[in-house]
């Protein structure tokens, strides 16, 4: 009898433990989802400058974005999914949502980081001299929130001759809808034309 009881206790314990693990993984999933919504400054339409404390940034940005955007870190080369991406669309600042680059100015530089030859508008990027690591470089930052993005070099392709070497971690990408819209509109025109026949 004692044995049976022991067995039962074990079974109950095992089930409880399982449930525990399950509910735990569930909550951590929820928390992960929430962090993306916790960034109150992120906007793709608001162009007003973002001026909040480093402490505030640390709270609202995912750790990898914070390390690069606010602490001027550099991601390991060849680690960004955007490095070889040829998708058509727009690249935004991952810290604040400011539009930075269009995919048609992206080129394969072979340097290991996503590279562009021109920002989307003049004001979308700001520049600062960077003399760290024994090099003389030009740092590029987001024009809206001053997030560190990467550097610009003068060995890019025409028409600008510039190479904006950007950390993929601080980029958000949105596929272009224009092409799709155009296609649908064309489809509608075809239908209209058929109606008229």
Give the closest residue to 112 by CA, choosing from 88, 79, 86.
Answer: 79
Contact positions with Zn ion (CB under 5 A) in 98-117: 98
Q: Count the Cβ atoms, other than its own, within 10 Å of residue 149.
A: 30
107-110-113 Cα angle (round to 5): 75
In the complex, the smallest distance separating the C-beta of residue 141 from Zn ion, rounded to whole angstroms, is 8
| Adjacent-strand bridge partners of 69 | none
For the question of residue 165 being annotated catalytic, the response is: yes
**Which residue's structure tokens are 């996503």?**
114
Taking CB under 5 A as the binding criterion, the range among 36-44, 58-66, 125-133, 143-151 that sits at the site for Zn ion is: 143-151
Cβ proximity to Zn ion: between 68 and 95 the closer is 95
Contact positions with Zn ion (CB under 5 A) in 144-173: 144-145, 147
In the complex, the smallest distance separating the C-beta of residue 23 from Zn ion, rounded to whole angstroms, is 37
Give the closest residue to 170 by CA, choosing from 185, 150, 143.
Answer: 150
Q: Which position among 93, 96, 142, 165 bears the catalytic label?
A: 165
Distance CA 159, CA 18 (A): 61
Give the contact letters, 72-101, x = binds to Zn ion (CB under 5 A), - = no.
---------------------x-xx-x---
Q: Evaluate the CA torsion angle 119, 121, 126, 131 in order and state its sign.
A: positive
Cβ proximity to Zn ion: between 93 and 165 the closer is 93
Check residue 5 and report its DSSP letter: H
Cβ proximity to Zn ion: between 70 and 144 the closer is 144
Count of residues near Zn ion by CB under 5 A:
8
Distance CA 175, CA 103 (A): 9
Cβ proximity to Zn ion: between 141 and 162 the closer is 141
Binding site for Zn ion (CB under 5 A): 93, 95-96, 98, 142, 144-145, 147
Catalytic residue set: 165
């Amino acid at each position: 009898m004692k044995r049976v009881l022991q067995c039962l206790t074990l079974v109950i314990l095992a089930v409880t433990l399982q449930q525990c693990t399950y509910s735990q993984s569930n909550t951590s999933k929820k928390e992960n989802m929430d962090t993306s919504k916790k960034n109150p400054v992120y906007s793709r339409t608001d162009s007003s400058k973002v001026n909040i404390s480093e402490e505030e940034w640390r709270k609202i940005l995912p750790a990898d974005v914070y390390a690069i955007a606010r602490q001027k870190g550099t991601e390991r080369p060849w680690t960004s999914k955007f490095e070889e991406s040829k998708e058509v669309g727009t690249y935004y600042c991952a810290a604040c949502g400011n539009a930075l680059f269009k995919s048609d100015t992206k080129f394969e530089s072979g340097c290991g980081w996503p590279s562009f030859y021109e920002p989307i508008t003049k004001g979308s990027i700001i520049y600062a001299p960077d003399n760290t690591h024994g090099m003389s470089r030009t740092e590029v930052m987001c024009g809206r929130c001053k997030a560190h993005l990467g550097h610009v070099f003068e060995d890019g392709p025409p028409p600008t001759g510039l190479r904006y070497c950007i950390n993929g971690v601080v980029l958000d990408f949105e596929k272009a809808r224009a092409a799709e819209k155009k296609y649908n509109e064309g489809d509608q025109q075809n239908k209209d034309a058929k109606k008229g026949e």
